[in-house]
Amino acid sequence: MRAVLRAGALLAAGTLTAALAACGPVSGGGAASGDSGAKSVTVFAAASLKAPFTALAEQFEATHPGTTVTLSFAGSSDLATQITQGAPADVFASADIKNMAKVSGAALVEGSPRDFASNVLTIAVPPGNPAAIASFADLARPGVKTVVCAAQVPCGAAAKTVETETGTTLTPVSEESSVTDVLGKVISGEADAGLVYVTDVKTAGAKVREVPFAESAKAVNTYPIAALRRSRNKDLAAAFIAAVTGPEGRQLLRGAGFGAP
């Protein structure tokens, strides 16, 4: 009976471990980075960096044979939380200073973060521009369905800054928790206009139209990047950061709509 019991418990524990191992990209990346044979670098990057960083990772793998770049894209605050909770990342690229400060505040950053790109807000409207939006002030017009980010997330904080600077008060129909959700509402035509980043409009292509506004310069988001102290591949992490801040990285970032830091 006792033996059976133990076998059962073992079986259960084994199944659980196997199940967990099967579905953990994070732990998988950790195992790979500990491997002495194949070299790999795990990069946690803000969701807005998806296109340029994916292209850059391919270039990096080509110029560094035998290297694997594992990319994990999510909201900067999610990534910062994951890193402070011990996620095995080698490099962190944040979409704002605040979330990088969370990580460096926990003494997890190697050296000091470097700013590598900037991003500004712009107005995205559905292709036909049904509400005839031409300026930032138009967003506050009664009857216009404007969607913005909530003040708790970086794009919402930037929107608040522009509002304060221009003395315009928006009455949005929704305050989304991510810029992707704002863009989604514009693409689906639910919203007449949304405040998103220049790079989001670039990614969306013909599905939205951009209405640039000069006041966007009042709120520039700076993107910092840093190697992480717990990294086991510090050389590779440094090399990847050099690629991001170097000419090839800058070119890809510019192509995606990012500004200079």
Q: Considering the rule CB under 8 A, would residue 200 count as an interface residue with another protein?
A: no
Q: Rank residues 163 and 185 by Cβ distance to another protein and give the closer one.
A: 185
Q: What is the 3-state secondary structure (H, E, C) of 145-179?
A: CEEEECCCCHHHHHHHHHHHHHCCCCCCCEEECCH
Q: Binding string to another protein for residues 107 to 146, with x set by CB under 8 A, is what?
A: --------------------------------------x-
Q: What does the DSSP 8-state code read for residue 231?
A: -
Q: For 11, phi and psi rounded to 5 degrees?
A: -60, -45
Task: Pick the binder of another protein from 120, 125, 153, 195 (CB under 8 A).
Answer: 153
Distance CA 97, CA 101 (A): 6
Partnered with residue 67 across adjacent β-strands are 39
If one asks whether residue 22 binds another protein (CB under 8 A), the answer comes out as: no
**Interface size with another protein, residues (CB under 8 A):** 30
In contact, 154 and 215? CB cutoff 8 Å: no
In terms of DSSP bridges, do strands 209-211 and 109-125 run parallel, antiparallel, or are they unpaired? antiparallel
Contact segment (CB under 8 A) with another protein among 2-10, 117-125, 195-203, 219-227 equals: 2-10
Scanning 54-62, 88-96, 181-189, 197-205 for contacts with another protein by CB under 8 A, the matching segment is 181-189
Cβ proximity to another protein, 124 vs 145, nearer residue: 145
User: What are 210's two structure tokens?
Assistant: 């951009």
| CB closer to another protein out of 103 and 153 | 153
Q: Which is nearer to another protein, 63 or 152 (CB)?
A: 152
